[in-house]
Structure 1
Amino acid sequence: MQTTHPAALSRGLNVRHIRFMALGSAIGTGLFYGSAEAIQAAGPAVLIAYMIAGAAVFMVMRSLGEMAVRHPVAGSFSQYAGRYLGPFWGFATGWTYVFEMAIVALADITAFGIYMGFWFPQVDRWVWIAAVILVLTAINLLSVKVFGELEFWFSLVKVAAIIAMIAGGAALIAFGFSSPSGGQAGVHQLVANGGLFPNGFGGLLACFSVVVFAFGGVETVGVTAGEAADPKKAIPQAVNTVPVRILLFYVLTLAVLMSLFPWNQVGAQGSPFVQIFSGLGIPGAANVLNAIVITAALSAINSDIFGAGRVLFGLAQQGHAPASFGRVSSRGVPWMTVVVMTGVLAVGVVLNALIPEDVFTVIASIATFATVFVWAMILASHVAMKREIRRYALAPSEFPSPLWPVASVLAIAFMAFVTVLLGWFEDTRVALVVGGAWIGLLAGAYALWVRGDGRRRPALLDETAPLPVVSPDDRVRA
């Protein structure tokens, strides 16, 4: 494949692409599949968990949006962490995001295999997973404009489906629809089986790991800054849709579904959306919904490959990844990073062949740790940037984060709270073990392969120049 080195990414993503990527990032495996586990843990109180976590996610996105508009660069938040917190934290943030996307991608392809099993139960799950990896790898090796168009249509299908489900569910509730088991649809279902907190306050706490996992990946919008044709216009528009996405795609959707079907009968086998509409006996609805959740899974996997690849490209530019990750094809695509992600996804084929029943829960909890770490680094980088703006009397941001600094402090406290919860519950404790080992591995890798003192901060950023300014001593030995 013909390549150039070094080279720049192609700015092929327009406002329409990024806006729908932002919309689509909220509709994925965490909603269509993982929501069943969250519902079982907390009951209807899961709606409160989504609102609390959603508020924290909005602050993460506004912090990221302010930095992305100020510094629209490849690698996004890993470069911001390196610039404002120090080289090691940029290294750790970038590689942890890649780790997050790799783990989330494994969860997404696992869910995809489960969805396909709804139609073809006799076919082994790993067969479908191997096929989808090959197809999406080919797509990601094409130009970023092709990726943007594909994500636009994937997201359009998902958004339309969610809106249709909410409208259809509301109509069933309004007309007093009864399920084949005799239960009548209505908002009373939210408190009819043990009240709003059927599993107590502990149940609410237990669901947060899955709830945060559901929002993981929304930060990919920041990664698009390096390929956005007009980042100062596209990024704010995408970020500002976060509150609407949370209320519409999670809170309202799950409220409607739990009004249609008792929450305690929503199992964890397959998508709860498919299960609910199949259980209600609506002809053909389950097949249509299964096609939609398959589309959602394909979109999520596609975005995982994109996000991880672009951050690896940014790490290579900083000297924190092998130089080969900074090479791009004649189409402006960092092809080596796509190949690496394909290799990671191949692990999912093996896992689903060996331990198909236990893959999702383990993967989701580990992904939650990585997600919280990246979000905490985004928030910390933003705090450091705001302090530097004040200290050096720099020009104010064009897209400032609201309620500064109170909201940012509360969001950081929420990240600490979720981390504690991961260690508190036995089912998710493995996430802290793996996460701690991962950070230790990064520290060792940085000490071995990145020259120079990781505590040294780069010089004050010239805000008219590309970000960041990296010392040659801080480059990885290729």
Structure 2
Amino acid sequence: MNEIKASLARGLTARHIRFMALGSAIGTGLFYGSSSAIQAAGPAVLFAYIIGGAAVFIVMRAMGEMAVKHPVSGSFAHYASRYLGRFAGFVTGWTFAFEMAIVAIADVTAFGIYMGFWFPQVAQWIWVLAVVLLIASINLMKVKVFGETEFWLAAIKVTAIIAMIIGGAALIIFGFNAPDTETATGLATLMSAGTLFPNGFVGLLLSFAVVMFAFGGIETIGITAGEAADPAKAVPAAINTVPWRILLFYVASLAVVMMLFDWRQIDGSASPFVQIFDGLGIPAAAHVLNAVVITAAVSAINADTFGAGRMLYAMSEIGHAPKSFGRISRNGVPWMTVVIMAVVLLVDVVLNALLPEALFTIIASIATFATVWVWIMILTSYLAMRRKEAAAGRGPAVAREYAVPGGTVAAWIALVFMVFVVVLLALSPATRVALYTGIAWLVLLALLFKLLVRPAAPVKHDSDSLLG
């Protein structure tokens, strides 16, 4: 593990990591995927984001408690290996890399859709190709360049959403009406279907497939532990912002847009934020918001590529991935993993040319499975760690001020919820393919582990050692 410390430059500051956390929470899942969630649940989708966000916060705190104790690159795959066994670490690491690749494909697909708002005559795949080349270039530079890029991209998103919430609230307060309608903005528009649950409780449940996708990638904060200048402070500081980010960026922003415009007219042809302001007869706002969602997509793809690359690098160090993934450039970047991610994203160029309409829903549901599976492994690793400590007669792994709120009880509740979300994927034909794909993926990993991964010599860990 000394090689990891020597090879990967610690160029990410607390400021970088905090805004990476913001960037991972504000991406395609909010700006585009929320249209599918709104169509499924109506205004009840706000409850879905609150419930899902609370569960994700418990996952993040569990990961943070382990990350403070073991600040390593590819953190939660290491925790799974340490507390659940090498196969669990192998599955967790590769599933996270798969998640990042799938989420990135969804993000670049959304990028092509956003650009279609301005250039409808240009084929979607052309924009996908352009953004893939841009992201590959950024990720081959020094990690500090990546951190600064994410900082400014996230700053634009945060500023824009806050401005949108304030501006939208002002329109609601002053009684602005959309053109060709007599319905006043506010609760009347939100309740245009006569209820918060227009599609019943089942609609709320079905929305979780997209809602949980929206939070996917937020665990990338844990990946930064290996390159953070002070992970013991930077990682907890970023994780602790999760609750208010969820309330502000998801619940508040979606509540505002559904009070401004009849949510039943959201059709997924563009970002719901852009469609709503365009429908309100405020074209300048629609164009500004389209620029923002494009920025959000680039930021998300950037973070996805970083996360997958660092995970594969860490796995190559312990024999869970090809050694070539551990090759480091002069800039201290695992360049081979960046190349691999670029190749994977180039496949999306072909998919966008063949399936431009249906691709996003399929990809998002598959990403949901991979995302939730990684969260399940994080929670299971945390519970195993706590059992191990209890058996040894020791207290919690870190200072009590950064323990999981509610401890193992909260972790168990979050774990049951995550398993429930996986089961929900089977309820809708549109998301059922994700369940089939996920099961096939896990079977494939089991075969690869048995055939390709050599048994490791027994390693004795003390309470403060890193994973072998």
Range of TM-score over shorter length: over 0.9
The answer for unaligned runs of 5 or more in structure 2 is: none
1:289-368 mapped onto 2 (5 Å cutoff): 289-368=289-368
Match of 2:455 among 447, 452, 456: 452
Query: How far has the Cα of 1:459 moved from its partner?
Result: 4.2
Match of 2:419 among 396, 413, 416: 416
Query: How far has the Cα of 1:5 moved from its partner?
Result: 9.6
Superposed CA deviations along residues 395-417 of structure 1, whole A, max 9, x for unmatched, are 64132111011110110010111
Query: How far has the Cα of 1:315 moved from its partner?
Result: 0.6
Residues in 2 aligned to 1:332 and 1:278: alpha-carbon distance in whole angstroms: 45
Task: Verify: 1:376 aligned to 2:402, yes or no.
Answer: no
Partner in structure 1 of residue 444 of structure 2:
441
Match of 1:426 among 414, 429, 437: 429
**8 Å contact from structure 2 (residues 77, 92) kept in 1:** yes
Superposed CA deviations along residues 249-289 of structure 1, whole A, max 9, x for unmatched, are 00111001000011111111110000000000114111100
Superposed CA deviations along residues 347-388 of structure 1, whole A, max 9, x for unmatched, are 110000111111101000100000110000000000111111
1:17-416 mapped onto 2 (5 Å cutoff): 17-182=16-181, 183-394=183-394, 396=396, 397-398=398-399, 399-416=402-419
**8 Å contact from structure 1 (residues 6, 326) kept in 2:** no
Residues in 2 aligned to 1:200 and 1:225: alpha-carbon distance in whole angstroms: 42
TM-score by length of 2: 0.97
Task: Verify: 1:14 aligned to 2:17, yes or no.
Answer: no
Aligned length: 462
Query: How far has the Cα of 1:394 moved from its partner?
Result: 4.2
The one-letter amino acid paired with 1:422 is: L
Query: How far has the Cα of 1:135 moved from its partner?
Result: 1.2
TM-score by length of 1: 0.95
Q: Secondary structure at the match of 1:233?
A: helix
**8 Å contact from structure 1 (residues 49, 208) kept in 2:** yes
**8 Å contact from structure 1 (residues 102, 341) kept in 2:** yes
The one-letter amino acid paired with 2:284 is: G
**8 Å contact from structure 2 (residues 5, 226) kept in 1:** no
The one-letter amino acid paired with 2:162 is: I
Q: Secondary structure at the match of 1:423?
A: coil
Partner in structure 2 of residue 473 of structure 1:
none
Query: How far has the Cα of 1:299 moved from its partner?
Result: 0.2
Work out the percentage of aligned pairs sharing the same amino acid: 64
Q: Secondary structure at the match of 2:10?
A: coil
Question: Does 277-286 or 234-243 show the bigger shift?
Answer: 277-286
Residues in 1 aligned to 2:153 and 2:111: alpha-carbon distance in whole angstroms: 15
**8 Å contact from structure 1 (residues 5, 327) kept in 2:** no
Question: Does 374-383 or 194-203 show the bigger shift?
Answer: 194-203
Q: Secondary structure at the match of 1:330?
A: coil
Residues in 2 aligned to 1:235 and 1:292: alpha-carbon distance in whole angstroms: 27
Query: How far has the Cα of 1:16 moved from its partner?
Result: 0.3
Superposed CA deviations along residues 195-226 of structure 1, whole A, max 9, x for unmatched, are 10011111111111000000100000010000
Residues in 1 aligned to 2:160 and 2:260: alpha-carbon distance in whole angstroms: 17
The one-letter amino acid paired with 1:241 is: T
Q: Secondary structure at the match of 1:319?
A: coil
Residues in 1 aligned to 2:445 and 2:327: alpha-carbon distance in whole angstroms: 23
**8 Å contact from structure 2 (residues 69, 464) kept in 1:** no
Residues in 2 aligned to 1:194 and 1:439: alpha-carbon distance in whole angstroms: 43
Residues in 2 aligned to 1:329 and 1:401: alpha-carbon distance in whole angstroms: 38
**8 Å contact from structure 2 (residues 185, 260) kept in 1:** yes
Q: Secondary structure at the match of 1:169?
A: helix
Q: Secondary structure at the match of 1:63?
A: helix
Provide closer, same or farther for how the CA distance between residues 227 and 395 of structure 1 changes in structure 2, counting only shifts above 3 A. Answer: farther
The answer for unaligned runs of 5 or more in structure 1 is: 470-478
